[in-house]
């Protein structure tokens, strides 16, 4: 199987290289109109078919690696190091992306899949798709070069090659990765990373061919949104994994790998917003092109920084010396982008200019500004240890306190813009309309401030500002204002539809959303973001307690009392475990029993905690079995009370739902009865002026 896998990778490289070269030659011939012995269109089609065949070859290689994991082929070094016989079946799949070589193969396979879909849909716009397909082939050539020469996943054990025996069992999968979410988190994240290659290819292709209009943006809209959705889900799944597995009570530690996934998300989000200005008003064309270029480069930079070992990370298990390859590739990509932009920038002239500082356009501009500043802060924080070492010879740590102090205020400003933006009309606005639109949100903001203060949220402690509580107070109040603003937008539109069609408000809201899925789907995503922010703000009030617990020992945290009912042990082929049985009481009544666990994985010889979590919308009771005190022999239990954590996961659900809504084509009014003549619309607007 190793030979088959290696052969597939080599064939895939040859096919991708042909796709790149033949595609480039064909497009050049078409562009210049030079006569050639072979028809450029036919040459371009052979390139496209090579791309499709390349996908099949990469799929063969991916299949070979998974097959090797399932059949315990420990003659392959990668399988020996990342799998073992007792590994449960779902984690055999996870072995594909648990190490550097497998991750890169997954990347290449996903890129091949995206390319396959793109090439099948080439009739949408043959020329533009030919450009995009050729650019994707260029990216694929890079990954296949790395897989064939720098990080081959099918390398055989040196001992086996020298005639030695194959080890009876493998070293097993890293215990940190033996958690259900690790089966879906990396593929989801990679779908996001790799997916941005598609809008990148279209943007670069459209620029190269001086593609007229905004059609390429409309073509890639669904690609970009789906990619963004995958990346969002991947990031949140990673957060949940960190929360449930690492056992420190948090979900985001500003680790370089987390930062690496967050940076393209920020620029991708900026792109999703700013393309609307290009579609609506023909503005920010250069900006959009560079946003998508940056997003693509950031997906590469993240891999370079973390997997290349340039910065230390908890994800160090996947390090290997491939950073140089990535740096060279990024340099080439950047040079191509700059060269193409300089050559074709005349094509990107804006059609309209901004007319007012207070308008929908300017809110998009400020939104982009804040998102990119946040991206810079994270990039700066991630790179600063390297810069510091270079400048002053000593490495420094840039951890959570830095990001909390710098990135959190920026994030809160962004949430504020989330509410403000949709309330501003395109082009320009007036003080009167600002007052009309903002009264309710401002009232909601101040009512929330007062309520929070009344229930005990104090932004200072011992005479000094308590930044955690202060930010939480701001987050709650701004979130309330934003939710009010979005709700009022829904209500305004729904009330018009309700009057027009004589439906109830709920049905009218549903119809309104279906009439403009993109707009109202976007609002739903904003609601999801706000719900997430509320959940994140809850972390300012986390509490924890740690103590040794013997039989019938008790521990109290918040409204809960925990009583230890015993400890027990268990084992299977994969791991042995010990866990505590803790009865949880609330108000003197037993409500449930939780069993925090500590496992010892036999193959890798590493321990791992399995946190017991009881979630309610108000808070999570999060209990960690930390092991036994070597001095006293007593088990140590650490309990956390983490408020509002469920809101984070619920916010993700709302964001996913909103994105799906935005992806669904809007309903076109089928009946003339639903259409409103302009005169009647004017009358309605006049009525609304008084009522909304």
Closest CB to another protein among 215 and 515?
515
How far from the centroid of its chain's Cα atoms is residue 200's Cα?
17
By the rule CB under 8 A, 405 interacts with another protein: yes
Nearest to 9 by CA among 90, 78, 72, 74: 78
Nearest to 103 by CA among 46, 182, 203: 182
CB 408 within 8 Å of CB 471: yes
Report 412-471 residues binding another protein (CB under 8 A): 425-433, 435-437, 442, 446, 449-450, 453-454, 456, 458, 460-463, 466
Options 28-36, 158-166, 196-204, 389-397: segment touching another protein (CB under 8 A): 389-397
Report 255-314 residues binding another protein (CB under 8 A): 255, 276, 279-280, 312-314
Options 29-37, 249-257, 318-326, 586-594: segment touching another protein (CB under 8 A): 249-257
By the rule CB under 8 A, 113 interacts with another protein: no
Write down the least CB distance from residue 255 to another protein, Å.
7
CB 324 within 8 Å of CB 310: no
Q: Which burial class, exposed, middle or buried, applies to 670 when counting CB atoms under 10 A from its CB (0-12, 13-18, 19+)?
A: exposed
Write down the least CB distance from residue 17 to another protein, Å.
39
In this structure, how many other beta carbons lie within 10 angstroms of the beta carbon of residue 138? 22
Write down the least CB distance from residue 240 to another protein, Å.
17
Here's the x/- map for another protein, 353-382, by CB under 8 A: it reads as xxxxx-x--x--xx--x--xx--xx--xx-
Please tell me the distance from the alpha carbon of residue 42 to that of residue 39, in angstroms, as a whole number.
5
In this structure, how many other beta carbons lie within 10 angstroms of the beta carbon of residue 140? 28
Please tell me the distance from the alpha carbon of residue 251 to that of residue 613, in angstroms, as a whole number.
13
By the rule CB under 8 A, 666 interacts with another protein: yes
By the rule CB under 8 A, 591 interacts with another protein: no
Closest CB to another protein among 24 and 356?
356
Closest CB to another protein among 35 and 630?
630
Of the candidates 70, 93, 248, 470, which one interacts with another protein according to CB under 8 A? Answer: 248
By the rule CB under 8 A, 669 interacts with another protein: yes
Please tell me the distance from the alpha carbon of residue 299 to that of residue 289, in angstroms, as a whole number.
16
By the rule CB under 8 A, 573 interacts with another protein: no
By the rule CB under 8 A, 351 interacts with another protein: no
Please tell me the distance from the alpha carbon of residue 41 to that of residue 53, in angstroms, as a whole number.
18
Here's the x/- map for another protein, 516-555, by CB under 8 A: it reads as x-xx--x---------------------------------
By the rule CB under 8 A, 59 interacts with another protein: no
189-221: b (≥16 Cβ within 10 Å) or e: bbbbbbbbbbbbbbbbbbbbbebeebebbebbb
Closest CB to another protein among 34 and 394?
394
By the rule CB under 8 A, 199 interacts with another protein: no
Closest CB to another protein among 344 and 356?
356
Report 626-665 residues binding another protein (CB under 8 A): 626-630, 636, 638
In this structure, how many other beta carbons lie within 10 angstroms of the beta carbon of residue 583? 16
How far from the centroid of its chain's Cα atoms is residue 215's Cα?
26
Closest CB to another protein among 127 and 518?
518
* Helices (H), ranges, 308-399: 323-344, 360-392
Fill in the DSSP letter of residue 398: -
């Amino acid at each position: 199987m190793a030979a088959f896998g290696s052969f597939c990778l080599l064939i895939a490289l040859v096919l991708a290289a042909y796709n790149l070269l033949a595609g480039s030659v064909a497009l050049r011939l078409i562009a210049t109109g030079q006569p050639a012995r072979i028809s450029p269109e036919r040459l371009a089609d052979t390139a496209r078919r090579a791309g499709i065949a390349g996908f099949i070859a990469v799929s063969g290689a991916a299949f070979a690696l998974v097959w090797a994991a399932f059949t315990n082929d420990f003659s392959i070094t990668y399988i020996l190091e990342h799998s073992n016989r007792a590994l449960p079946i779902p984690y055999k799949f996870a072995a594909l992306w648990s190490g550097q070589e497998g991750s890169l193969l997954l990347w290449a396979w996903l890129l091949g899949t995206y390319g396959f879909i793109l090439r099948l849909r080439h009739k949408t716009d043959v020329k533009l798709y030919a450009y995009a397909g050729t650019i994707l082939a260029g990216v694929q050539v890079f990954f296949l070069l790395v897989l064939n020469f720098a990080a081959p996943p099918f390398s055989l054990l040196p001992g086996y090659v020298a005639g030695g025996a194959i080890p009876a069992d493998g070293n097993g999968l890293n215990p940190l990765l033996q958690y259900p979410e690790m089966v879906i988190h990396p593929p989801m994240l990679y779908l996001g990373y790799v997916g941005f290659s598609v809008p990148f290819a279209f943007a670069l292709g459209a620029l190269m061919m001086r593609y007229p209009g905004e059609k390429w943006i409309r073509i890639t809209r669904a690609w970009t949104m789906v990619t963004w959705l995958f990346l969002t889900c991947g990031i949140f799944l990673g957060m949940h994994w960190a929360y449930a597995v690492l056992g420190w009570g948090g979900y985001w530690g500003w680790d370089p790998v987390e930062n690496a996934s967050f940076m393209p998300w920020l620029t991708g989000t900026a792109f999703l917003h700013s393309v609307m200005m290009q579609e609506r008003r023909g503005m920010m064309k250069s900006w959009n092109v560079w946003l998508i270029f940056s997003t693509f480069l950031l997906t590469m930079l993240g891999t370079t920084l973390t997997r290349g070992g340039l910065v230390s990370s908890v994800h160090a298990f996947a390090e290997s010396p491939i950073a140089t390859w990535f740096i060279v590739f990024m340099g080439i990509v950047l040079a191509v982008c700059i060269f193409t932009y300089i050559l074709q920038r005349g094509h990107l002239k804006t059609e309209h200019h901004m007319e007012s500082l207070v308008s929908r356009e300017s809110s998009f501009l400020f939104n982009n500004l804040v998102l990119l500043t946040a991206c810079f802060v994270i990039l700066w924080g991630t790179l600063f240890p390297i810069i510091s070492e270079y400048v002053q010879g000593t490495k420094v740590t840039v951890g959570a306190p830095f990001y909390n102090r710098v990135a959190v205020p920026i994030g809160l400003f962004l949430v504020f813009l989330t509410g403000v933006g949709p309330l501003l009309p395109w082009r320009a606005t007036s003080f009167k309309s600002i007052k009309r639109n903002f009264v309710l949100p401002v009232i909601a903001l101040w009512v929330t401030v007062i309520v929070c203060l009344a229930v005990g949220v104090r932004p200072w402690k011992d005479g000094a500002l308590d930044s955690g509580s202060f930010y939480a107070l701001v987050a709650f109040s701004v979130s309330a204002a934003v939710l009010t603003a979005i709700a009022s937008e829904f209500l305004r539109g729904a009330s018009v539809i309700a009057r027009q069609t004589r439906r109830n408000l709920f049905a009218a809201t549903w119809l309104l959303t279906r009439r403009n899925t993109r707009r109202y789907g976007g609002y739903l995503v904003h609601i999801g973001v706000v719900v997430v922010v509320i959940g994140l703000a809850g972390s300012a009030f986390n509490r924890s307690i740690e103590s040794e617990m013997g039989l019938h020992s008790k521990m109290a945290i918040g409204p809960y009392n925990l009583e230890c009912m015993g400890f027990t042990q268990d084992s299977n082929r994969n791991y042995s475990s010990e866990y505590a049985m803790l009865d949880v009481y609330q108000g003197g009544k037993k409500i449930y029993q939780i069993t925090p666990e500590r496992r010892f994985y036999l193959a890798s010889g590493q321990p791992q905690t399995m946190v017991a979590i009881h979630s309610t919308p108000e808070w999570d009771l999060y209990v960690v079995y930390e092991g036994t005190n070597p001095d006293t022999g007593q088990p140590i239990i650490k309990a956390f009370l983490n408020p509002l954590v469920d809101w984070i996961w619920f916010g993700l659900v709302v964001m996913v739902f909103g994105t799906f809504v935005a992806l669904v084509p809007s309903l076109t009014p089928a009946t003339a009865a639903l259409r409103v003549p302009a005169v009647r619309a004017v009358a309605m607007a006049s009525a609304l002026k008084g009522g909304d």
